[in-house]
Amino acid sequence: MELNNIEEIASYIVSDGKGILAADESNPTCGKRFDTIGVENIESNRRDYREMLFRASGLKDNIGGVILFDETLRQNAKDGTPLIDIMNAAGALPGIKVDKGLIPISDGSDEVITQGLDGLNDRLKEYVAIGAKFTKWRAVIKIGNDMPSDQCIDGNADALAEYAKLAQNNGLVPIVEPEILMDGDHTIDQSFNASSRALASLFNSLKAKGVNLKGVLLKPSMVTPGSEATLKASVEDVANMTLKSLKENVPAEVPGITFLSGGQTEIEATQHLDAMNKIGGFSWKLSFSFGRALQAGALKAWSGDSGNAFIAQDILSHRAKMNNLAAQGDWIIDLEEEF
């Protein structure tokens, strides 16, 4: 597979309904996942789990890229094969999370900014040498009392743009992720407002830094009410409000928008993605970059037992196929009941 530049790589990752498997949980986060299935959070178990995911037959044709944590990018499978070779053989390009987590935007603030720009250029060069093709940086935006502030939105947008420019300078596709947290009791209108402000600021910053938008992927939240909101939203409301925010703020030259699942169930995330693609009327590919919404069922089925690998892989492969169909507006609920 000959992909010569960042524009070709970005377009490939979201081609033909393909999306991204987000497997970049930090070791502590992986530990929280493993706690739910009674598995010890040690390097060999993390490797076995991810190897199981990457060997699933459903990666082929459905997954265009896999976001990895630093440890995973360097790991070999049990038989000695580099994990990134397993992904590449399935046509899923290896990517790497490069931010260094969150710190308060100022002393005592509930708002956060993402750190990791120090030394980033050197780390990017190393990741290229190992074989990474794309990168990810996550910003976190909270809704609440006087939140999000302009300081939070603009500060995170600037950091995302600086990271994106460095990534492109090193021949890597940057995924820019301005996540609006679902935590809280906010309405869908408040979510729409925060999303629109974050996207507008982000693309202003990207343009100001001279980032090539044809070689960028956007990883936004869907516009939903808060997880504790009294007023829920229909699938149609989420699809329409999300599309409205995107159409008003995301330039047409961006090749792909790969949503995070952000606390939605596996079926909800697929359903919302499909609804947007059925509505249509946009130039970008609307696809997925799901973590839990691809992995949750597989993780539970695996439960640390290699004898369960085939069952877990079938579950992951099914979800990958369902989301591929949703990314093309071809999913129907009956396909879930057959599985």
Query: Catalytic residue at 219?
Result: yes
Query: Residue 323: what residue type?
Result: N
How many angstroms separate the first and last alpha carbons of the chain? 32
Q: CA triplet 259, 263, 265: central angle to 5 degrees? A: 90
Query: Residue 1: what residue type?
Result: M
Please give the full DSSP string across 85-131, using - where no structure is assigned: HHHHHTT-EEEEE----EEESSTT-S-EEE---TTHHHHHHHHHHHT
Give phi and psi for 172, each to the nearest 5: -110, 140
Q: For residue 111, which of 85, 144, 133, 81 has the smallest C-alpha distance? A: 144
**Alpha-carbon distance values, 280 to 20, 179, 233, 244, 272 (Å):** 21, 23, 20, 11, 13
Q: Which of 18, 97, 219, 285 is catalytic?
A: 219
Q: Which of 51, 177, 179, 266 is catalytic?
A: 177
**Alpha-carbon radius of gyration of the chain:** 19
CA torsion sign, 242 to 218 to 152 to 22?
A: positive
How many CB atoms are located within 10 Å of the residue 47 CB? 17
Q: For residue 220, which of 154, 299, 160, 295 has the smallest C-alpha distance? A: 160
Query: Catalytic residue at 177?
Result: yes
Q: For residue 320, which of 64, 140, 33 has the smallest C-alpha distance? A: 64
Please give the full DSSP string across 36-76, using - where no structure is assigned: TTT----HHHHHHHHHHHHT-GGGTTTEEEEEE-HHHHH-B
Q: What residues are labeled active site?
A: 177, 219
